Amino acid sequence: MLITLALCPSVVPNSLFGMGNPLLDISAVVDKDFLEKYGLKPNDQILAEDKHKALFEEIVKKFKVEYHAGGATQNSIKIAQWMIQDPHKVCTFFGCIGEDKFGEILKQKADEAHVDAYYYEQTEEPTGTCAACITGDNRSLVANLAAANCYKKDKHLDLKENWKLVEKAKVYYIAGFFLTVSLESILKVAKHASENNKLFTLNLSAPFISQFFKDALMEVMPYVDVLFGNEMEAATFSKEQGFQTEDIEEIAKKAEALPKVNKKRPRIVVFTQGKDGTIMTKGGDKVETFPVLKIDQKDIVDTNGAGDAFVGGFLSELVQDKELEQCVKAGHYAANVIIRRAGCTFPEKPDFH
């Protein structure tokens, strides 16, 4: 099945637009005691509360940490640009940072990744951080949004020169995490995409989004052309929506059938399941499963960026007007590369055909 886009044969700069929470990832292999001390589940994603404030200092003092430019949307956008390679700056990214050292690192990393990043910089809050607490092949993420939480539609998205970049794009991607920050910004972009028959894509991102930001999520859902998520997020979404099923294929079908504004294209739902196959709705009652690439357990270094990488790979082909099956293959390839490395990092060039 082909999703058609009015695109030139080759992809042009600013074709793929992402907006989200730019965070500096602080990742470390930790122990069970550390997780217990801060009440963390081995495999989870949460927003930092007061009780987690000391965690960010302790992880740096106690364990060997690595710093990487992160934040779910930014990771995916970076991977998409890496997969595309040329031209540079096919991908645009908006988000909020602080005027500080971590903010400078994020700007530098975006530049190195050839992403066209336009940050809203402010002085009230420092640049956001995310602690990735790794145990075995599990990862527990604790995000301290700080500056990322300060993104303002009127101070950044609405500015004429910035909105022009939104208008240039053909495909839009926002992780569900941004629903906690600026619903009005998401809706402005989503409505633009829908009104102009462009593709708006969203990620369920984490169970807590479906639970505690349900109203915001469902306000955006009618504009979603491609919905991403993993098996845990799908299960929570199903429960919160009263779908009364734990069968992932049924959940995908029900999510696909939710009301949609732009009737010119069916909603595509894509759910990853770790090492199990990725499922994708194909319009109507069809659901297809795609096996992931085999990998030896001993080659897995860090699964932290796998979901973001899958989306990045998928989007890199979607923006080039490729078949959906090819988008899934690219997603699997990108995830397979990322889990062999620490953080959401990648070799110089992809080897995807």
**Catalytic residue numbers?**
308
Residue 9: asked if its preceding bond is cis (omega within 30°), the reply is no
Sign, CA torsion 198/325/1/249: negative
Residue with tokens 């940050």: 119
Name 133's Cβ contacts closer than 8 Å, sequence gap at least 6: 28, 30, 34, 35, 40, 59, 139, 140, 141, 142
Q: Concatenated DSSP letters for 240-296? A: HHT-----HHHHHHHHHTS--S-TTS--EEEEEETTEEEEEE-STT-EEEEPPPP--
Provide φ and ψ at 174, rounded to 5°: -135, 130
3-state DSSP assignment of residue 3: coil
For the chain, report the end-to-end CA distance as a whole number of angstroms.
19
Residue with tokens 């990092």: 345
Tokens of 340: 């062999």
Cα distance between residue 309 and residue 318, in whole Å: 14
Residue with tokens 């369920």: 204
Question: Residue 200 is inside which H or E element, if any?
Answer: strand 199-203
C-alpha separations of 197 from 5, 11, 93, 281, 319 in Å: 9, 18, 21, 20, 14
Cα distance between residue 25 and residue 71, in whole Å: 7
Give the number of other Cβ atoms within 10 Å of residue 117's Cβ. 23
Cα distance between residue 76 and residue 38, in whole Å: 28
